[in-house]
Structure 1
């Protein structure tokens, strides 16, 4: 298929060639008429003389021979190591004494999935899914985060002094709930991950989703102690919500909230050097609002989560 700026399509090439070959037009006149160079006009005229109308089609740019292509035996060894060990190009190249770029080309040529798309335990391609409506499934998780000592950590003071001040700073626990369909999130920075704290957070998060017009049907969590407690089970049962837990050692099952945790660290927690834990916490509500209302999400075709929740209060602010 010709590219969008190509001056000639297959029909245009055929008309040009016939003007030169059958009607006897000079090359320069034909080139000027069809707005191409005389060299191009000569090429299509010669192709028409040799192959007729079939010669007006685009030919493959692949060379007839590739003497420097990686030998088939080496390609098989690369594929075997990838399938059996699930290594990346750099590690495979080190084992087979190759260049990583060569290994990467072989893996791409045979269409082998990226490691990020594979389940490391089974080697199977991870199936990406999305629930059909808001509230059908809500992912819940807790992220443990080291506090910043007063005066700043190693990003402000340097690694040596930052380490000495880090002692005794303690930890924060970020409790997060994210809707599977819309990616709308509610998150709070709390002091621990006990069952009472987790249950109280979910009560507030449930109210947040309800206010947004979302009826929560199921909640997915890991196997943490707080999520296996009687308090957690009762608070979900009272609201008629089904609780589902991930399989042990399979965090990818709860991947949407895990991915939000990484985004949260990159774009808020470690986005700039803070001089105190309180300074970082003061920025958090604004960041969360930006995430829900303004930040484009790749899974939503560049739109924010609020675009999928028409009843969300203040989505146009």
Structure 2
């Protein structure tokens, strides 16, 4: 019998893994929402009460209708090349269409700089990806837009897997004491992921091994809290 992780939970059918032949044939794009860390650390590190106290003391906090303090969320916009698994990621303040399009312009430039000509982009059915603005920016670049089937997130599995790795090895990897500290750690982690971290699907080699002229440079797009 097939292992559960190899099955589509909705249909019970075996998921057929695929890989495009060349870098740029398909780039997976997705957004992951992530709660900000209050100054001094959050409940994952210090426990619920201490985390609550830190949220209360963090500048710029907001209160919900029950009087609870919140320090807001960030949105990880991610793009992963299907063939090489080369990844580009930014921490942005929202998932609006204008933000998604601006991210894609920078992501496309990142791939282009590294010799990858993007032909297709795969996203889910989020509102920003269904907008005319998103459609037009891809059309102008000669890029075909494909969307996943509703309720089938595994169709965009490579970026979903990247999301899980990003959370485990960066976002929750160590006891960050501030959101700024966590954000500052992203560029180095992403460089390691692209250049040094072995990938099982690549025979233990990093994504850089499949991109012949990878520059080695990564620019983190900073936004104020």
TM, length-normalised to structure 2: 0.89
- From the two aligned structures, give the one with the greater strand fraction: 2
Distance in 2, matches of 1:200 and 1:285, equals: 19
Shift of 1:189: 0.3
SS at match of 2:193: helix
Aligned twin of 1:114: 3
Distance in 2, matches of 1:235 and 1:223, equals: 17
- Give per-residue Cα distances to partners, 1:162-206, cap 9 Å, x unaligned: 134443210000000000000000000000000000000000000
Aligned twin of 2:209: 307
- From the two aligned structures, give the one with the greater helix fraction: 1
Shift of 1:161: 1.9
Equivalent pairs, count: 204
Distance in 1, matches of 2:52 and 2:17, equals: 40
Q: 2:47 aligns with which of 137, 153, 158?
A: 158
- Give per-residue Cα distances to partners, 1:181-238, cap 9 Å, x unaligned: 0000000000000000000000000000001000100000000000000110010000
SS at match of 1:313: coil
Distance in 1, matches of 2:179 and 2:38, equals: 6
What are the residue-to-residue correspondences of 1:27-46 with 2, within 5 Å? none
Larger radius of gyration: 1
Q: 1:203 aligns with which of 95, 99, 105?
A: 105
Distance in 1, matches of 2:2 and 2:22, equals: 29
SS at match of 2:78: strand
Shift of 1:310: 0.6
SS at match of 1:197: helix
The answer for unaligned runs of 5 or more in structure 2 is 56-68, 218-225
The answer for unaligned runs of 5 or more in structure 1 is 1-111
Q: Does 2:35 correspond to 1:133?
A: no
Q: 1:249 aligns with which of 124, 140, 151?
A: 151
TM, length-normalised to structure 1: 0.63
Structure with more relative contact order (C-alpha pairs < 8 Å, separation 6 or more) = 2
Distance in 1, matches of 2:167 and 2:120, equals: 26
Larger mean Cα displacement after TM superposition, 196-205 or 166-175: 166-175
SS at match of 1:232: helix
Q: Does 2:179 correspond to 1:277?
A: yes
